Chains A and B, each alone.
Chain A
Amino acid sequence: MAGVTLMKTPAETGLVQAFETVKATLPGDVESRAQAFELFERNGLPHRRVEEFKYTDLRALMREVAPFAKVPSADEAKTALRDAKALAEINALQVPFVNGHFVRDAVDFKNLPEGVEIVPLAEALASGHDWLTRLSPVEWARQNPVYQLNSSFMADGVMIRIVGQVTTPVHLRFVTSSASAVATATRVLVLIEDGASVKLLETHESTNGVSHQPNDVVELIAGDQTNVHHVRVNAEGDQALALSTFAVKIGAEASFNSINVVAGSATSRHQVFAILNGENTKAQINGATMLKGRQHGDSTLVVEHAAPHCESRELFKTVVDNEATGVFQGKIIVPHHAQKTDGRMMSAALLLADGAAMNNKPELEIFADDVQCAHGATCGQLDEDLLFYLMARGIPKKEAESLLIQAFLGEAIEFVDNEDVREALVHTVEEWLKART
């Protein structure tokens, strides 16, 4: 294919036009946006011949581009947040975004929990805030077309700084709400200073029945001896095309625990780019994905052990029903100097129907010679013997299946330390199981 230029698809043409139209209205330096967009435009929407998008052909999946969302009115924002339910009951500092715009009124800036500082991103971009130099900390993300689109179009978001032990969870609520489809690009940067600890919740929701196109990026720079618990929930509407990136750089002697739970979207692709950047850091990165109907759910993961003596565990569980398709692509990278790396990645999928499909692609890229790394991938059906055992005790088949599916996903969810959040996630699984036909 070398030397052949592909024709632009309607979606690509739409993105070029959209960028020309909105770039002058977006906050901050147009030049850096233009650079990001140029990087994107060079290759266009990634398709199946691009290795990282082999199983999620965005060129085919994104037929057209929805118009970028406008700033919602105060009432619109209020209604949207009232209707958004994901983890809404959890006691937390809520930091909401509606249609890609930070809802400033929803945050009581005078009474933020101790150790939490929040700067609205649109203002920061416009005024040139000091922290902006720390945006885009991860090279893997900068090379990624989905991330490049967010960098081109990001309209708003926040930058959050965490100092010391913050016990109140910080809940980033991304809500897209409108009767007609919109595209959004929200960016959040979380700076966690040395020795600080934080519990970060992230929920993503959008109107059912509308083909919204959110593209959200959360970036996190955690210093040395930090402790981070991160729970992300995709509860997007049933027609959403949801693209998202979680880019993380972690210092030394830190503890990092993250899970992404997918229960929504028609199509979703969630990308995690994590760099373990200091020695003796431990990271646990999990996923629990539930797909049904004709849903397509992609979890893509790159973990770079950039320092020696780090440990990482990746555990991804995917349940695929009906004619849905699951994708797991996970890569652990260990450069020459990262000796004594200990990395273990596991992806397990449960196929509940004949039409269900799973693409499992674990990879290790190891250049150091004194490491322990392993990966595993399984695809299977529910164990008939276990089902018989449960049914022989009087449990009807569907309920027996539900128990086994819950147990399967539970292995990834049990790492969540906040009991209320864990229960809410279990409830999400139960609701999904109830809706199974």
Chain B
Amino acid sequence: MLEIKNLVVQIEDKRILNGLNLTVNNGEVAAIMGPNGSGKSTLSYVIAGKEDYEVLDGEIILDGQNLLEMEPDQRAAAGVFLAFQYPLEIPGVASMTFLKAAMNAQRKSRGQDELSTPDFIKRVNAAAAKLEIPKDMLKRALNVGFSGGEKKRMEILQMALLEPTFCILDETDSGLDIDALRIVSEGVNALRSPDRSFLVITHYQRLLNHIVPDTVHVMSAGRVVKSGGKELALELEANGYADYRESEAA
């Protein structure tokens, strides 16, 4: 279970999150929607542990562990996974080298043995096949020269291999065509389980047709201003964020 209490965050003296509260239960898929600039991506970075943000107040507790006291790699080992909105290209680091380093690092921190090379390759190939990732893509440097869709599939591949307990999808639907959206969504749905929860950040209802959420939260001006079931997303799609922008001004 993830619990965020009264989270206040700024970057370069600009307040982005203003006392945000959010709870995501085990096995729950929570969608976060909201207008541009409402702090959705900041929230995802702060959970994952990006340095640029200054946390002024509040706490983030995952399964009883205080994430704010941990380095990003420790948070990953504790179960956090952030699927980036813009996955980074890393020239010179082969995708397979990267995957192996990540999987073994997490295994090591959990006290497990490193994977043997055949076992590692078997796991990668099985997971890649499900996401329709061709083998030659894995031979290239990480994300270098990948299309938008390939990069997002690569993110979900990592999610599948690292088996996190709390997954954040930061606008995973951006830049995806219809087929890629289906493949990525199926990949995510396949990972849904009673002990894995998801925070799905998106602007559009479209993604939520594929990844059906249990709860929907509306963010505005750095806070969750309304929470509800999946019907809330449909309501937003019909009426837009106008109502919530007013609350921002007030």
Contacts and interface: CB of A to CB of B under 8 A. Distances in A.
A391 B81 CA distance: 11
Contacts of B101: 390, 395, 399, 403
A404 B90 contact: yes
Instruction: Name, among A394, A395, A407, the residue most crowded by chain B CB atoms within 10 Å (CB to CB).
Output: A394
Contacts of A399: 101, 105
A398 B85 CA distance: 25
A395 B91 contact: no
A408 B93 CA distance: 9
Majority SS at the chain A contact face: helix
Nearest to B75: A392
A131 interface: no
8 contacts: A389-B84, A390-B101, A391-B49, A392-B82, A393-B102, A407-B90, A407-B91, A411-B91
B154 to A, nearest CB: 11
Interface centre among B49, B72, B82, B105 (most CB of A within 10 A): B72
B92 interface: yes
A384 interface: yes
Contacts of B87: 389
A395 B93 CA distance: 13
Interface string B75-104: 111001110100110111100011001100
Contact of A410 (B77, B88, B92, B162): B92
Nearest to A391: B72
B84 A411 contact: no
Given A404-B90, A408-B92, A410-B92, A395 B105 contact: yes
A392 B97 contact: no
Residues of A in contact with B, size category: 20 to 34
Given A388-B50, A407-B93, A394 B102 contact: yes
A391 B102 CA distance: 9
A394 B82 contact: no
B92 A385 contact: no
Interface in A180-204: none
Nearest to B91: A407
A386 interface: yes
Contacts of B72: 388, 391-392
Contacts of A388: 48-51, 72
Contacts of A376: none
Contacts of B66: none
A178 interface: no
A397 B73 CA distance: 8
A94 B84 CA distance: 51
B50 to A, nearest CB: 5
Given A406-B92, A411-B91, A394 B51 contact: no
A396 interface: yes
B71 interface: yes
B51 A393 contact: no
A156 B52 CA distance: 59
Contacts of A395: 73, 101-102, 105
